A and B are shown apart, each in its own frame.
Chain A
Amino acid sequence: DGGITQSPKYLFRKEGQNVTLSCEQNLNHDAMYWYRQDPGQGLRLIYYSQIVNDFQKGDIAEGYSVSREKKESFPLTVTSAQKNPTAFYLCASREDGRKNQPQHFGDGTRLSIL
């Protein structure tokens, strides 16, 4: 079955540590996204990528980094510069082309501070 796989489901970060969240898709989608969701709130865009080897900052990119070396993969690194990383992180992908194409989401990763 085609879909988006995020791992791990739960992640704990120690002070001063970088952690990487994995996102893999087998939908052959060109565009991929990372969102942050805080309790009781909507989604905020961290980074997005329209094509391999290219990505753009979203609204809250500070303290995060990404790479897009393969079409299928869009990992997110939460760096030690992100002082409040506790949140639910969602990865999404979207088929290029028609504007009515929705974003498809993974199951998310919950990140907490130890």
Chain B
Amino acid sequence: AQKITQTQPGMFVQEKEAVTLDCTYDTSDPSYGLFWYKQPSSGEMIFLIYQGSYDQQNATEGRYSLNFQKARKSANLVISASQLGDSAMYFCAMRPWDSNYQLIWGAGTKLIIKP
């Protein structure tokens, strides 16, 4: 069965440091997509970054980048120069090959940035 695993239930990071949030996935699909979302305490889900399985380069979006290691089936989110506003839940999700519509979600990592 296809699955997303986020092994870090919670993390504390000092402000201005870089942080890596882990995401591993299990699929035998030839093609798939990986998404990261941020959920602040207010509840809304905010799209951060996307990585396609056949993309030649790791995705970057401002302070967010994806450390995509296809052979290891990992898609870790890296946040550079963390800010207090980065404190939130972070979710990794995978779009299977045969679906344009559905996502498989991880359980999330709670990130707390310390001043």
Contacts and interface: CB of A to CB of B under 8 A. Distances in A.
B52 A42 contact: no
Q: Identify whether the interface residues of B are mostly helix, strand, loop, or mixed.
A: loop
Contact of A102 (B35, B43, B106): B35
- Looking at B33, B43, B100, B103, the one whose CB has the most chain A CB atoms below 10 A away is B43
Contacts of A58: 102
Interface in A56-114: 58, 88, 90, 92, 94, 96, 99-100, 102-108, 110
Contacts of B106: 42
Nearest to A97: B100
Nearest to B51: A100
Contacts, number: 54
A48 B103 CA distance: 11
A108 B39 CA distance: 11
A41 interface: yes
B101 A42 contact: no
Contacts of A90: 43, 45
A108 B43 contact: yes
26 contacts: A31-B100, A31-B101, A40-B107, A41-B107, A41-B108, A43-B45, A43-B103, A44-B105, A48-B102, A50-B101, A58-B102, A90-B43, A90-B45, A92-B45, A99-B33, A99-B52, A100-B52, A103-B35, A103-B45, A103-B47, A104-B47, A105-B46, A106-B44, A107-B42, A107-B43, A108-B43
